[in-house]
Amino acid sequence: MTMTKIVTAALAASVVLTAVNASELEGRGASFPGPVYKAWTSAYFSATGNKVNYTPTGSGDGIKSITKRMVDFGGSDKPLKPKTLKKKKLYMFPSVVGSIVLAYNLEGIKDGELKLSRAAIAAIFSGKAKFWDDALITKENAGLKLPHTPITTCVRADKSGTTFNFTYFLNKINPAFKVSKKPTWTASKVVAGKSNSGVSANIQQIKGSLGYIEYSYKMKLGLPAAQVQNKEGKFINPTVKSFQDAAKYATWTAANDFYAVIGDPAGATSYPIVAATFILLPAEKVKTDKEVTAFFNWAYEHGDKAAADLGYVPLPASTKEAVRAYWKAKKIN
């Protein structure tokens, strides 16, 4: 055998060996972090050769899929309480913080020009305000020419962590709203779409529509989004800075598996609809869990810029260290 053939054979064997040894993980769930997980998994594969597949099917499906052990990890924007995690034999930790914006399709109304007060948002999603020129909306928008057009509210068709966090905010405005992954909406005109991408597409296509979506979907499609009134009474534009100001109010510890809902935080400069997204792991699958945590540890170390570029807020260094200690305590790091 010639030297060329020997080298070629050795290279081929190396490629096969790498393919066999490279891990391939399957995850599914929350669509809220879909864009950043896509960026992270692509970069991780380029850096390590290890493949992580994540399908953004919605938080409800993520919880169901990991509970039934159909995937290696699940994604959920709705955190599970410690007693639920214990019952389902799951571990949980946060991966990143994002935000929910109220995007709209109104001719002549540019991005950030529309102001939505807490009273107006409650009126729209309860069905009390049926048209764009309702007094509760025009009150804060004297300089805008809002049409006498029916408001089409774009919501999620599936069980959704984005919906859970949005209804958590609505509940803070008015306790009549129930916190739910899939509520029964009473708005006057409702169109449902699957996942954040489905709701975004509906807003993009339907004139006179308003819907709640994760910020990166708004950015990707160039959808205009409203200033939202926070609990201090200030109207805040959705920006990475206003999300960061809100995220610092998150309170979570390893003692309760990082259970926390950040929605409607304090602070005059805080954007009011922010949420963390979480990873769920099966407690008994230690070997696979180590591979999953290796991926998220890599993302913690190398993925902050990609997250920020997409409009997410990376976890603070102190939270990352707390998560690493949690992994170590569970023997899955």
Instruction: Provide the CATH number for the domain around residue 84.
Output: 3.40.190.10
Residues 139 and 204 in one domain: yes
The domain tally of the chain equals 2
Phi, psi of 229 (to 5 degrees): -75, 125
Which CA distances in Å does 297 have to 155, 239, 249, 294, 306? 33, 26, 23, 5, 15
Whether 299 is covered by a domain: the verdict is: yes
| In the predicted structure, residue 1 carries a pLDDT above the cut 70 | no
State the residue range of the domain holding 215. Answer: 100-246
Higher pLDDT, 38 or 261: 38
Residues 28 and 67 in one domain: yes
Residues 214 and 299 in one domain: no
Whether 12 is covered by a domain: the verdict is: no
Residues 210 and 291 in one domain: no
pLDDT in the model for residue 22: 53
| In the predicted structure, residue 6 carries a pLDDT above the cut 60 | no
| In the predicted structure, residue 83 carries a pLDDT above the cut 50 | yes
Report percent pLDDT > 70 for the chain. 93
Residue where a domain terminates, one of 211, 246, 281: 246
Residues 81 and 107 in one domain: no
242 neighbors 271 (Cβ within 8 angstroms) = yes
Residues 115 and 240 in one domain: yes
Residues 106 and 202 in one domain: yes
Higher pLDDT, 255 or 20: 255
Model confidence band, residue 137 (pLDDT cutoffs 50, 70, 90): very high
Average pLDDT over residues 170-191: 96
This prediction has a pTM of 0.86
| In the predicted structure, residue 61 carries a pLDDT above the cut 60 | yes
Residues 240 and 286 in one domain: no
Which CA distances in Å does 275 have to 14, 92, 155, 200? 44, 15, 17, 18
Model confidence band, residue 320 (pLDDT cutoffs 50, 70, 90): very high
Distance of CA 198 to the CA centre of its chain: 14
